[in-house]
Structure 1
Amino acid sequence: MPGSQTPQFTVPDLHIRSREGGYARGREGHETILRAALNLLVEQGYRAMSMRKVAAACGMKLGNLTYYFPTKEDLVRELLDAVITSYEIEFEAIIHEEGVSPEQRLEEICTLILEDIRTKKTTRVFPELWALSNHDPFVFDRVHELYARARAPLLGFIDEINPDLTPEQTEALALFISASMEGLTVFAGHDKPFEKRMPWLEKIAAKSFVQFVKSVTPDDFA
């Protein structure tokens, strides 16, 4: 069965940046809050992720929570930074692989993203943020910032593979690849109808994107 394939990549849920100074207990409290907030976002959605609920999930008073994060926006901003940083670390490892062609690295990074789509966190969190961004300017800005950071390695690989493209064409191609992969979330993500087909879709997508990047010309954008 296609769904029996063991994932090649695993992205941690969060990478929480080290904070300068402070006591160990303070750093632990900071991490506990972010993990509780992520769990609420995954299990109950953004609307349910109130400061009071996060505090309750951490077993602390609201006043203690606001010592770490004065507003929900502060909490969400740092939470999403911790989420995307975990991907950037994995991307960096692929970018700096020695003796691996840019075509192979592009295929690897596409495989990583598509495998991650099958996780509960990714299937639940990102579509919710997409929907919220239609009505919430703060979420809109955070989502577009997050995806700009996620597309950065694609820009580098495309430029290496096909240096004849202009920066604008390279950016459009990276956007197309990113959007094509993310669109599979609603069809083949966690508990979705075609989740078991995702290993096949990974192979199709990764190889297709590499061939497309190699073969596209500036004239194709005319």
Structure 2
Amino acid sequence: MTEIKGNFRSITVADLAFPPREGGYAKGHETREAILAASLNLLVEEGYQAMSMRRVAAACGMKLGNLTYHFASREDLVRGLLDAVIRAYEIEFAAIVHMPGTPPEERLAEICGLILEDIRTKKTTRVFPELWALSNHDPFVFERVQETYARARAPLVEIVGEMRPDLSEDQRHDLALFISASMEGTTMFAGYEKPFEARMPMIETIAIKSFVDLVRNWEDPEPN
């Protein structure tokens, strides 16, 4: 059995990541990326209400009409922003999932360690709870948040399947959802500038051991 020692690599997730540029006008790609970076900064520092099209345009030093050339609406802007945010995580997750010669237990620990460490960043602590609150009342934000977390859970589902090939697809998804939700729930207590931020290293150790043991030993109490 693989021993999980808790000595995880320190990985810093980029704020945003963009798909490879394929043709087109290079300056146009640069402008879109600058717009998304400015949007993220407004969201982190002032919240979703401040991320209006006019505020974003002003932050980029451009006219509103120039902004709408790249993003026709606020919804297009939010969609592009969340795609760039989650793409940055997917790059790191993919590198961990496909680490050669590394047992799945260690890769599960690596991914969980990355997520829990990232929760302590200002960006993550500020952005995601803001979106959670908005998703209660805004169907568009709700759909984007669900899509974002589905993409984030995918590597967990894959690794759980490697650890426990005997589990059904639903069981793998249930365990991945529980692990993801458990980690995200620490944001309000041990995230950036939260009361228990200093205890996050111990919380991380407890969580990772618990998750690995859970997947190793899980038995469905209501088998089909």
TM-score bracket for this pair, using the shorter chain length: over 0.9
The alpha carbon displacement at 1:20 in A equals: 3.0
| Alpha-carbon distance in 1 for matches of 2:202, 2:222 | 28
- The correspondence of residues 43-192 of structure 1 with structure 2, limited to 5 A, is 43-192=45-194
Higher helix share: 1
The alpha carbon displacement at 1:92 in A equals: 0.4
| Alpha-carbon distance in 1 for matches of 2:73, 2:101 | 46
8 A Cα contact 2:8 2:113, kept in partner: no
Q: Which digits, 9 at most, give the CA deviation of each residue in 1:56-102, with x for residues without a partner? A: 00000000000110101011101100000000000000011111100
| Residues 91, 142 of structure 1: alpha-carbon distance in 2 compared, 3 angstrom cutoff | same
8 A Cα contact 1:164 1:218, kept in partner: no
Q: Which digits, 9 at most, give the CA deviation of each residue in 1:122-178, with x for residues without a partner? A: 000000101100000000000000000000011011111112221111111111000
| Alpha-carbon distance in 2 for matches of 1:7, 1:42 | 26
8 A Cα contact 2:115 2:183, kept in partner: yes
Cα RMSD of the aligned pairs, angstroms, is 1.6
8 A Cα contact 1:94 1:109, kept in partner: yes
| Larger RCO: 1 or 2 (CA < 8 Å, sep 6+) | 1
Instruction: Name the SS for the 1:37 alignment partner.
Output: helix
The alpha carbon displacement at 1:30 in A equals: 1.0
8 A Cα contact 1:9 1:112, kept in partner: yes
Query: Which contiguous aligned blocks of 4+ residues in structure 1 show a shift greater than 6 angstroms?
Result: none
The alpha carbon displacement at 1:17 in A equals: 1.8
| Residues 220, 199 of structure 1: alpha-carbon distance in 2 compared, 3 angstrom cutoff | farther
Amino acid at match of 1:168: D
8 A Cα contact 1:37 1:49, kept in partner: yes
1:17 equivalent to 2:19? Answer: yes
| Residues 46, 221 of structure 1: alpha-carbon distance in 2 compared, 3 angstrom cutoff | farther
Equivalent position to 2:196, from 176, 182, 194:
194
1:29 equivalent to 2:31? Answer: yes
1:212 equivalent to 2:211? Answer: no
Instruction: Name the SS for the 1:139 alignment partner.
Output: helix
Moved more, 118-127 or 11-20: 11-20
The alpha carbon displacement at 1:221 in A equals: 6.2
The alpha carbon displacement at 1:205 in A equals: 0.6
8 A Cα contact 1:188 1:194, kept in partner: yes
The alpha carbon displacement at 1:218 in A equals: 2.6
Moved more, 118-127 or 168-177: 168-177
The total of aligned residue pairs comes to 218
